């Protein structure tokens, strides 16, 4: 039976935003902190621990980490539900409880990439003359790291964050399938299986639009972080 595509897209997009926004915010904050801490003393034990953890996170696919979370925290310990199905009318704490595991898996996936690029950028920036000059002037260490160094090291990090915005909206098919979450990614897979061309086109349009908006925001952020960048 024919049905309008717009209501389905709005509902699934709303579900995906519930999952993507908190995961992205947590991943960005943690990755910036870990990247700065690892770059301050490169090749130290903290840097080595962060490197091992992030490389492990990159190497493990989302469906494996998600399955392990379900096995340990849902089946063995019984702390969280194995599925992330939401019902209308529930409050914030219910959403946080149900979405805890899929959000954690998404954070792990995004955290590794953002942390690695932040660490690499910070190491390069900390070697520049203006950072050494700021240190010689006697400025506080936190001010040098977060105002002078991190601001300039954020340029490549913003690019990775923008990529993760689009990925979290439409590219989390495996995470949504593992946790039976009715998001936009699972809708793309459903439309492919059912050969529903209008639904597939609408879904991919939303995902492509998310990438475009994320890239536009990244370009605007470049100009805010580096005043030398001007757009005409």
Decide if 73 is inside a domain. yes
Q: At what angle do helices 197-225 and 184-193 cross, to 10 degrees?
A: 150
Decide if 6 is inside a domain. no
**CATH number, residue 139:** 1.10.3720.10
Domain that holds residue 30: 15-225
Among 128, 177, 120, smallest CA distance to 148 is for 128
- For residues 68 and 29, is the Cβ–Cβ distance under 8 A? no
Q: Say yes or no to pLDDT of 93 above 80.
A: no
Among 179, 173, 167, smallest CA distance to 193 is for 173
- For residues 211 and 166, is the Cβ–Cβ distance under 8 A? yes
> Tens digits of per-residue pLDDT, 76-91?
887 888 776 666 556 6
Decide if 55 is inside a domain. yes
Decide if 232 is inside a domain. no
CA angle centred on 138, ends 136 and 141, rounded to 5°: 100
CA distance 204 to 206: 5
Decide if 197 is inside a domain. yes
Query: How many domains, the chain?
Result: 1
Task: State both tokens at 103.
Answer: 């959000």
Name the percent of the chain lying above pLDDT 90. 0
Among 146, 154, 143, smallest CA distance to 120 is for 154
Decide if 2 is inside a domain. no
Decide if 97 is inside a domain. yes
> Tens digits of per-residue pLDDT, 187-220?
888 888 888 888 888 888 888 888 888 888 888 8
């Amino acid at each position: 039976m024919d049905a309008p595509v717009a209501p389905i897209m709005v509902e699934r997009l709303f579900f995906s935003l519930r999952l993507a926004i908190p995961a992205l915010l947590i991943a960005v904050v943690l990755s910036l902190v870990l990247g700065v801490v690892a770059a301050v003393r490169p090749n130290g034990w903290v840097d080595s621990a962060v490197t091992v953890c992030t490389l492990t996170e990159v190497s493990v696919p989302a469906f494996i980490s998600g399955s392990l979370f379900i096995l340990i925290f849902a089946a063995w310990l019984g702390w969280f539900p194995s599925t992330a199905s939401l019902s209308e009318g529930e409050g914030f704490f219910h959403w946080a409880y149900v979405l805890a595991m899929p959000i954690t898996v998404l954070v792990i996936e995004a955290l590794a990439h953002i942390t690695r690029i932040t660490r690499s950028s910070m190491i390069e920036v900390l070697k520049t003359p203006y950072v050494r000059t700021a240190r010689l002037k006697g400025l506080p260490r936190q001010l040098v790291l977060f105002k002078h160094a991190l601001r300039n090291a954020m340029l490549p990090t913003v690019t990775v964050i923008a990529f993760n915005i689009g990925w979290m909206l439409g590219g989390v098919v495996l995470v949504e399938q593992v946790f039976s979450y009715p998001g936009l990614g699972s809708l793309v897979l459903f439309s492919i299986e059912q050969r529903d061309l209008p639904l597939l086109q609408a879904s991919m349009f939303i995902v492509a639009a998310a990438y475009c908006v994320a890239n536009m925001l990244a370009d605007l952020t470049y100009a805010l972080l580096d005043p030398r960048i001007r757009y005409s």
